[in-house]
Amino acid sequence: MTSMINHELYKVFYWAAKTGSLSSAAKVLFITQPSVSHAIKQLEESLGITLFYRTSKGVSLTQEGATLYSYIEQSHILISLAEEKMTALKKLDSGELRIGGSDSLFKHYMLPYLESYHQKYPGIKLHLNHGTTPETIAFLKEGKIDLGVVRMPIVDPQIEVIGGVHLQDCFVAGARYAELKDRVLTLEHLLEYPIILFSRNSRARMAITELFQTYGHQIKPEIEVGSVDLLIELARKGLGISYVTKEFISKELEEGSLFEIQLDIQMPPSQVGLMTMRNMPLSTAASKFIELVH
């Protein structure tokens, strides 16, 4: 059957047709001329047609041979382009990197790494998929992203997470609640004030809910928002006390537009990690990004 023909035979046929000479084809392929003749004979016998006829200058294609060559030439061009593309991808001259994560992690944690990566590999196109931790996990499993930036822990047998920086979450308020600045509050006292939290699907929201439940309390936000910027701004405007990541509000804390609410319990730190599919090969672009972050 023609589908079982060794593709090396087509390679020999291509160069013999292209050069019009069996000896020239042999030189290109680094084989002997008799090997070229034998390969062409095998191909002709497999296809049941004559591909060449001899001339005083070498060989020329028959009509059937010319038809075959028109197809083989296209495949050769595609293979050459594929090889060039693979070389470019290996050298990171081209390609793409798809990363999933929340707006806040992109803005406050990943931005310096994204900037460095783009400067080092300008040929790689960066695609950022915004979403909560559950959405980012779904993106990864569906093949929509190469890796995700998430808060840990992530417990999933299909996913591997490489730990990164530690973050500290805290409650903050603006000038409207200035009387709380030098006080240490209990959880009960804190819950007497309007609380502003991130959306229910966020890892930070899950963590603070679990923490309060550990101490026998249920935290019910007065306001729920979908971005860290809104958490910060609403607290500054005095609409309530927001639960945010301390490292994300260093400027506001330094200038005094926000202050940290001191509690009588120790707030546990959280950790950000890079998430990939377990036992799945990473692209060179993704591997280099992980190396840069770590």
| pLDDT over 50 at 255, yes or no | yes
Least confident range from 147-151, 161-165, 182-186: namely 161-165
Local confidence band at 257 (pLDDT 50, 70, 90 cut-offs): very high
Is the full-model pTM beyond 0.75? Answer: no
pLDDT in tens, 69-84: 999 998 888 887 777 7
Q: What is the mean pLDDT of the chain?
A: 91
pLDDT of residue 270: 87
Q: Are 171 and 231 in contact (CB under 8 A)?
A: no
- Are the folds of 96-166+272-293 and 169-268 the same? yes
Q: In this predicted model, what pLDDT tens digit does every residue of 5-28 receive, in sequence order?
A: 688 999 999 999 999 999 999 999
Q: Are 29 and 14 in contact (CB under 8 A)?
A: no
Using only C-alpha atoms, the chain has a radius of gyration, in whole angstroms, of: 32
Burial 5-16, CB ≥16 within 10 A → b, else e: eeeebbbbbbbb
Determine the Cα–Cα distance for residues 39 and 141; give it in Å rounded to an integer. 46
Could you report the per-residue pLDDT of 104-123, keeping only the tens digit for each? 899 888 999 999 999 999 99
For domain 96-166+272-293, which architecture applies?
3-Layer(aba) Sandwich (3.40)
Pick the CATH number of 2-91 from 1.10.10.10, 3.90.700.10, 3.40.50.1820, 1.10.12.10: 1.10.10.10
| Domains of the chain, residue spans | 2-91, 96-166+272-293, 169-268
Share of the chain above pLDDT 90, in %: 69
Greater model confidence, 201 or 273: 273
CATH superfamily of 169-268: Periplasmic binding protein-like II (3.40.190.10)
DSSP line for 27-52? HHHTS-HHHHHHHHHHHHHHHTS--E
pLDDT tens sequence across 34-54: 999 999 999 999 999 999 999
Distance CA 256, CA 289 (A): 36
Strands (E) in 17-119, as ranges, are 52-55, 58-61, 96-101
